Chains A and B, each alone.
Chain A
Amino acid sequence: NAGVMQNPRHLVRRRGQEARLRCSPMKGHSHVYWYRQLPEEGLKFMVYLQKENIIDESGMPKERFSAEFPKEGPSILRIQQVVRGDSAAYFCASSPIKQVIGNEQFFGPGTRLTVL
């Protein structure tokens, strides 16, 4: 059973370009979370999606950032017109949502975005 997959692992963009990050959850998981980790900091929640639905985007910046999780294919985090401050590691996590209290989240290897 493959774990959470993310690609690309490393992404370099120039200021003003678009970054597109992909996440394939573990088999059987239909819930995806995206987190951002700035250098030497903890992880910050960005968005929670189920198939074809954005459930909670309270952690997403209001502009330039968007996320989707289509019926078919991976979840995508899109950052338009990137700025240097967007440089970070972006992790997605998937969860099976089996328990009423607390469901484990399994993290992907992350995409390290560098904006030049």
Chain B
Amino acid sequence: GENVEQHPSTLSVQEGDSAVIKCTYSDSASNYFPWYKQELGKRPQLIIDIRSNVGEKKDQRIAVTLNKTAKHFSLHITETQPEDSAVYFCAASKTDSWGKLQFGAGTQVVVTP
């Protein structure tokens, strides 16, 4: 089955700096890669996603890149703010597995003022 690895497990950045989180996946048939943000005690919230027919997607300060050949995808947050502090999860799914998401272990991001 699919295996998703996520690095780093913790990331501390100064406010205004950029944060990058990387994930790799094992199943070349995976074709959908969402990113979720989870604040303490809250639900995971979708922040951005990318499909296999696209190499890059951007939404304001957040961008995601996908390298299908290398089977890895990354989340980039620019101009970080204290409210970006949270746990971020990457995930992968494929059409013929009913869309079930296989999640990475998560990255704890701390943005210090």
Q: How far is the CB of B89 from chain A (nearest CB, A)?
A: 6
Q: Which of B32, B45, B98, B106 contacts A102 (CB 8 A)?
A: B32
Q: Which of A101, A104, A108 contacts B53 (CB 8 A)?
A: A101
Q: How far is the CB of A91 from chain B (nearest CB, A)?
A: 7
Asked whether any CB of chain B lies closer than 8 Å to the CB of A85, the reply is no
- Classify chain B: how many residues form its interface, as a range: 20 to 34
**Interface readout for B24-54 with A: 1 if CB under 8 Å, 0 if not?**
0000000111101000001111100101110
Do the beta carbons of B103 and A101 come within 8 Å of each other? no
Starting from the known contacts A56-B100, A103-B32, 8 additional A-B residue pairs (CB-CB under 8 Å) come to: A35-B101, A41-B106, A42-B106, A97-B99, A101-B52, A102-B51, A102-B95, A109-B43
- Using a CB–CB cutoff of 8 Å, the interface residues on chain A facing chain B are 31, 33, 35, 41-45, 48, 55-56, 59, 91, 95, 97, 100-110
